[in-house]
């Protein structure tokens, strides 16, 4: 029996700089940022007052009114992305064996908005008066459950929570479900809705957020000398992963093949990456080994690139460690330069960008990279998008707590 | 004059529980006619507690069968325990 292979046949994204794949990709190629002043809650006492916000999302476009009203924003973002990806895949789920179709989504936080509202209500009225929807609205796996309920997916269903690497781990684990024969179709990706007063405050308390409030669109500037922290963002992204034979039988459009995945820990610190980059290097090397691809065959790296000194320098060191002299010749870009950092959704948004890079043979720029940090001296594709021959892509995600994951995508070799 | 207790309960059913207006009748069985499952009944009990500022016990909720029973039970509670939540006298 031929080895099973996992291919990407559908994409969906709800990002600060674009709702829907087409809008997101155009904005990303053109370097248009989705970072804005926060208006949905009071930021007057925070040093940082900006975030990557998703504008104009209508949950009623893809959820029944009673479900939309009783679910948290992170569910809305996730179901929106999944619905677009499934539609894009052309799958007719009525004709599929739904026990072979599953859903694994990454989310670092779950339903924080309702959680915060209920904690405040509990202090006011007593914890014995909490809303019965508290658990089903807040629990992180609500997003995978709602996607399954809306689309009738009876296969593996779970949420992976590894902070900033959540979506990347989710996509890798979904790939394994297909390769191991547990499923033929997986809806996967990531989601986050951290733009609530307390959650924003929690990130602000770590002093990691950019304070460039006078120029929000310039605030997320990975690898730039003048960066001053990352920009918190919300968003959702989904991929339909499919067994190659299944995709071929139905004549599906294939964006890319997912050929490698790594999950590794630096076992170093809850917040700070290993400054030598050794844990990031380990994660990249393991993903390439899983893919059976040598470093010299990688044509593009989608960096974790958070716009923090700690990440950008360590990631640069790690890339040099893995790729040697070839590191200087690989184009590297950071999608977070235009989306901000959507935590558990980030790796999903970036996986969508990787698939589009392979499909359209164009690399998006690292926007706002105007004065490179001397410690970051690789080709981060500053300025404008670049047409290039791209057959192999590596995508990096390094989560708080050193939860690291990498994916390797290729153009489908026929 | 419309019964305010009944109207407010109907609004909870058609609003937060998404029950179609045409199903709302006093004799409607909450479970079989209105389709309330066990969790929807819990949601309704919570919504009634919030709306009328009363306490609904699990036993009370379980003993109610029809919408009419529910309205009557809430009316008794509202009149008996919290005058300020009852309809204002003209």
pLDDT of A102-139, one tens digit each?
Answer: 999 999 999 999 999 999 999 999 999 999 999 999 99
Kindly indicate the confidence band of residue B79, based on its pLDDT and cuts at 50, 70 and 90. confident
Band of pLDDT at residue A271, cut at 50, 70 and 90 = confident
Q: Please, what is the average pLDDT of chain A?
A: 97
Cβ–Cβ below 8 Å for B17 and A66 = yes
CA distances A155 to A93, A147, A261, B19, Å, are 13, 12, 21, 30
pLDDT given for residue A97 in this prediction:
98
Contacts A–B by Cβ distance under 8 A: 14
Using 50, 70 and 90 to split pLDDT, how confident is the model at A393?
Answer: very high
Nearest CA in chain A to B41: A132
Q: Testing the interface with B: which of A127, A132, A136, A137 to mutate, by most B Cβ within 10 A? A: A132
Enumerate the residues of chain A whose CB falls inside 8 A of the CB of residue B16.
66, 69-70
> What local confidence, expressed as pLDDT, does residue A344 receive?
98
Distance of CA A227 to the CA centre of its chain: 21
The chain B residue lying nearest A125, using CA atoms, is B50
Q: What value does the mean pLDDT take over residues A384-403?
A: 96
Q: What is the CA radius of gyration of chain A?
A: 20
**Residue-wise pLDDT tens digits, A326-378:** 999 999 999 999 999 999 999 999 999 999 999 999 999 999 999 999 999 99
Reported confidence tier of residue A148, pLDDT bands at 50, 70, 90: very high
Residue A305's pLDDT band, with cuts at 50, 70 and 90, is very high
Give how far B65 is from chain A: nearest CA, Å: 21
Higher pLDDT, A291 or A413: A291
User: In whole angstroms, what is the distance from residue B48 CA to residue A152 CA?
Assistant: 32
Catalytic residue among A76, A146, A164, A354: A164
CB-CB neighbors (< 8 A) of B18 in chain A: 64-66
* Count of residues making up chain A: 414
Q: How far is B47 from chain A (nearest CA, A)?
A: 9
pLDDT confidence of A1, banded at 50, 70, 90? Answer: low
pLDDT tens, position by position, B25-78: 999 999 999 999 999 999 999 999 999 999 999 898 889 999 999 999 999 999
Nearest CA in chain A to B42: A132
Judge if pTM exceeds 0.80.
yes
pLDDT of amino acid A249: 97
Q: Is A164 a catalytic residue?
A: yes
Q: Does B49 touch chain A (CB under 8 A)?
A: yes
User: What confidence tens digit (pLDDT) does each residue in A210-243 have?
Assistant: 999 999 999 999 999 999 999 999 999 999 999 9
Residue A393's contacts (CB-CB under 8 Å, 6 or more residues apart) are A256, A298, A299, A300, A301, A302, A354, A357, A358, A408, A409, A410
Report ipTM (2 d.p.).
0.79
Q: Is the pLDDT of residue B85 over 80?
A: no
B12: Cα within 13 Å, side-chain hemisphere: 22
pLDDT at B81 over 90: no
Task: Identify the DSSP state of A412.
Answer: P
């Amino acid at each position: 029996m031929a080895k099973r292979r996992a291919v990407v046949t559908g994409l969906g994204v709800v990002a600060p700089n674009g709702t829907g794949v087409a809008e997101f990709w155009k904005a990303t190629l053109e370097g248009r940022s989705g970072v804005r002043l926060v208006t949905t809650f009071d930021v007057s006492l925070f040093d940082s007052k900006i975030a990557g916000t998703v504008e104009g999302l209508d949950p009623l476009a893809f959820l029944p009114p009673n479900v939309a009203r009783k679910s948290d924003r992170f569910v809305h973002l996730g179901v929106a992305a999944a619905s677009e990806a499934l539609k894009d895949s052309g799958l007719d789920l009525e004709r599929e064996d739904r026990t072979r179709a599953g859903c694994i989504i990454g989310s670092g936080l779950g339903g924080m908005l309702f959680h915060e509202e209920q904690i405040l209500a509990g202090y006011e009225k007593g914890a014995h008066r909490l809303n019965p929807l508290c658990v089903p609205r807040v629990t992180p796996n609500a997003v995978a459950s709602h996607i399954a309920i809306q689309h009738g997916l009876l296969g593996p269903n779970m949420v992976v929570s590894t902070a900033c690497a959540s979506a990347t781990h989710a996509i890798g684990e979904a790939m394994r479900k297909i390769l191991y024969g547990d499923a033929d179709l997986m809806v996967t990706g990531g989601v986050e809705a951290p733009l609530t007063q307390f959650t924003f405050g929690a990130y602000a308390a770590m002093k990691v957020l950019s304070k460039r409030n006078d120029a929000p669109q310039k605030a997320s500037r990975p690898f730039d000398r003048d960066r001053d922290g990352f920009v918190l963002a919300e968003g959702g992204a989904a991929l339909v992963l499919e067994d190659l034979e299944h995709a071929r039988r139905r004549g599906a459009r294939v964006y890319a093949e997912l050929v490698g995945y790594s999950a590794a820990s630096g076992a170093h610190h809850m917040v700070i990456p290993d400054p030598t980059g050794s844990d990031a290097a380990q994660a990249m090397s393991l993903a390439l080994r899983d893919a059976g691809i040598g470093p010299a065959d990688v044509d593009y790296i989608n960096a974790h690139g958070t716009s923090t000194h700690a990440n950008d320098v360590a990631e640069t060191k790690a890339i040099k460690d893995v790729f040697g002299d070839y590191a200087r010749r690989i184009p590297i870009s950071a999608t977070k330069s235009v989306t901000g950092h959507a935590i558990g959704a980030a790796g999903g948004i970036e996986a969508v960008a990787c698939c589009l890079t392979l499909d359209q043979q164009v690399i998006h720029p690292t926007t706002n990279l105007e004065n490179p940090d001397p410690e970051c001296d690789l080709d981060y594709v500053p300025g404008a998008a670049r047409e290039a021959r791209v057959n192999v892509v590596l995508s990096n995600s390094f989560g708080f707590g050193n939860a690291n994951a990498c994916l390797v995508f290729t153009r489908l070799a026929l | 004059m419309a019964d305010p207790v009944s109207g407010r309960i109907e609004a909870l059913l058609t609003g937060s529980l998404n029950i179609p207006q045409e199903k709302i009748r006093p004799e409607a069985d909450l479970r079989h006619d209105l389709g309330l499952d066990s969790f929807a009944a819990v949601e309704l009990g919570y919504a009634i507690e919030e709306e009328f500022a009363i306490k609904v016990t699990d036993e009370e909720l379980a003993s109610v069968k029809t919408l009419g029973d529910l309205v009557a039970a809430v009316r008794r509670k509202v009149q008996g325990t919290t005058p300020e939540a009852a309809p204002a006298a003209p």
